[in-house]
Structure 1
Amino acid sequence: MTPRLGFAAVLAALVAPMLVPGEAAAQRRQQMPSRQELGGGNTPIPLPQQEKTFPVGASWSVVQLNGKPVYDRRATLLIDQNLRGTGFGGCNTFSAAAYPLRQQGFAVGPIAITKRSCDKATLDFERSFLMALRATQKWDMVNGRLVLKGGAGELVLSRSL
């Protein structure tokens, strides 16, 4: 066998299956599941769930802290376009880096807070609110409300002006 004949034989063996649909190509087509197997002839195939978009630039007020309604306390949160979280904790104003992450994750950096003096109940509420905010790991939108969950509790916030 000459080197030229060997090269031609190898080339023919590689190119021939691409030019003529053979048994292997027919078997590959048959192995694909049919629309019937995927859920019916006219039934649409479900698409993967689209990831939610965090509502940056919206102002929120706390309506629940750890499952308890918040009526007499005013606490707010705004996360701006620069991913800076600012708000009012009930006595003091605060700010922190706040990052919505993939798969509805959420991270809050160290919180800077003013040092106003308030009554003990207000300071206790503010401390609980800021601890829950700082420990937030996940967020979700449920019935138009922002829900923040983490190791120190759950916050439910409603849109505010």
Structure 2
Amino acid sequence: MTRRLGLAAVLVALAVPMLTSNEAAAQRRQQMPSRSELGGGNAPIPQAQQEKTFPVGASWSVVQLNGKEVYDRRATLMIDQNLRGTGFGGCNTFSAAAYPLRQQGIAVGPIAVTKRSCDKGLLDFERAFLMALRTANKWDLVNGRLVLKGSAGELTLSRSL
């Protein structure tokens, strides 16, 4: 009989900590707000936004440079399947390595430019355009337009033929 009491005492000694840990877990569950209390209700859990695909092979024309409309200047850009960016800066043609990156990043390598002679206003525009292109590190498609942003400014380009 004492052996049974000894065994019973051991089982009780083991069960008491288990009961207290279960009670503590139950209290934690009661203290945590429910999904509806958090405003979730039956609302779906937000999914990660699908990453956009850079429009390789499309031809673009500049319509805004640093927020200003571009009416009297013609500048273009196309990034081909070989990740080569080419175009016209308003006076000269150019080419550079251009790599669309994850999370809508972009890296543009050093730009090779022809050396045509043009008036100062056109060359100033071309310089600002190429500098904004070279320093671009983010891209986005907004209302069908390609937007490139970087430390030297922002370019907005519209699809062209």
Amino acid at match of 1:73: R
Query: Are 2:61 and 1:61 aligned?
Result: yes
Name 2:75's counterpart in structure 1.
Answer: 75
Letter of the structure 2 residue corresponding to residue 92 of structure 1? N
Does 2:134 correspond to 1:140? no
**Match in the other structure for 2:7:** none
Measure, in 1, the Cα distance between the counterparts of 2:50 and 2:126.
35
| 1:1-161 to 2 correspondences below 5 Å | 36=36, 39-41=40-42, 43-161=43-161
Question: 1:142 Cα deviation (Å)?
Answer: 1.0
Which residue identity is paired with 2:72?
A: D
When the two structures are superposed, what TM-score results if normalisation uses the length of structure 2?
A: 0.76
The list of structure 1 runs, each at least 4 consecutive aligned residues, that deviate by more than 6 angstroms after superposition, is none
User: How far is the alpha carbon of 1:44 from its aligned partner?
Assistant: 2.1
Gaps of 5+ in 2: 1-20
The residue that corresponds to 2:17 in the other structure is: none
The AA in structure 2 aligned to 1:66 is N
State the identity %.
Answer: 82
Instruction: Give the TM-score of the pair, scaled to structure 1.
Output: 0.76
Partner of 2:6: none
